[in-house]
Chain A
């Protein structure tokens, strides 16, 4: 079935550094969503993207819907300890069925 490739799998950074992660698909997507999951909790929606080329910010987070419609990027600027968690990309292809999730990027921030 449809798969999303999310990278990197994990990141270890210093507080204050910027972070970038991305997600690619084998087919064209109409929707890209970025979620964050804390331990013991469900994923929480960070940013939603619906148009190719769209660039959307949520505080220190910025995400982009790739022009090819087969990828998306999430950037976190000036990371802080509470940014620690697992970040998931999710997308919906043209068939319009349920959201498909990447395997996540685990972010660790040291102070």
Chain B
């Protein structure tokens, strides 16, 4: 158990809909990352938050947004869903974002999103 909690584990929805994925980082970790994993693209970095502020942005679509709350949990919002958004979405947390050379990411078990 990595200590990172993601809910829900599975999500089935229709095209055009909006969903919210939730992540609770490991106790004491201030930084949260979101990754998308699809069969053909591997693990793609979406966005990083540190202590409530956006820290880095990757290949995140404009239809997607995220935030980190004062209690450090994070939510990833996916809107106007398309079939191609079906993927595993992982959250990861780390404790030392200011020391990149010592940073280790710990992953949750992921949310499997199926858009029908």
Q: Which residues of A come within 8 Å of B, CB atoms? A: 1, 30-31, 33, 35, 40-45, 48, 50, 88, 90, 92, 96-104
Count B interface residues, CB 8 Å: 26
When the two chains form the complex, which single residue of A50, A99, A102 contacts B105, counting CB atoms closer than 8 Å? A99
B100 cross-chain contacts in A, Cβ below 8 A:
30-31, 92, 96
Interface residues of B (CB under 8 A from A): 2, 4, 33, 35, 41-45, 48, 56, 58-59, 90, 92, 100-110
- 29 CB contacts below 8 A, A to B, read A1-B59, A30-B101, A31-B101, A31-B103, A33-B104, A33-B105, A35-B107, A41-B109, A41-B110, A42-B4, A42-B92, A42-B107, A42-B109, A42-B110, A43-B107, A44-B107, A90-B43, A90-B105, A92-B100, A92-B103, A97-B58, A98-B56, A99-B33, A99-B45, A101-B35, A101-B44, A101-B45, A102-B42, A103-B41
Residues of A within 8 A of B103 (CB): 31, 92, 99
B42 lies within 8 A of A101 (CB): yes
- For B48, what are the chain A residues with a Cβ–Cβ distance below 8 Å? 97-98
Question: Quick check: B106 and A88 within 8 Å, CB to CB?
Answer: no
Cα–Cα distance between A33 and B42 once the two chains are bound (Å): 16
Bound-state CA distance A44–B4 (Å) is 11
Chain A nearest CB, measured from B112 CB (Å) = 8
User: Known: A30-B101, A42-B2, A50-B102. Contact between A98 and B109, CB under 8 A?
Assistant: no
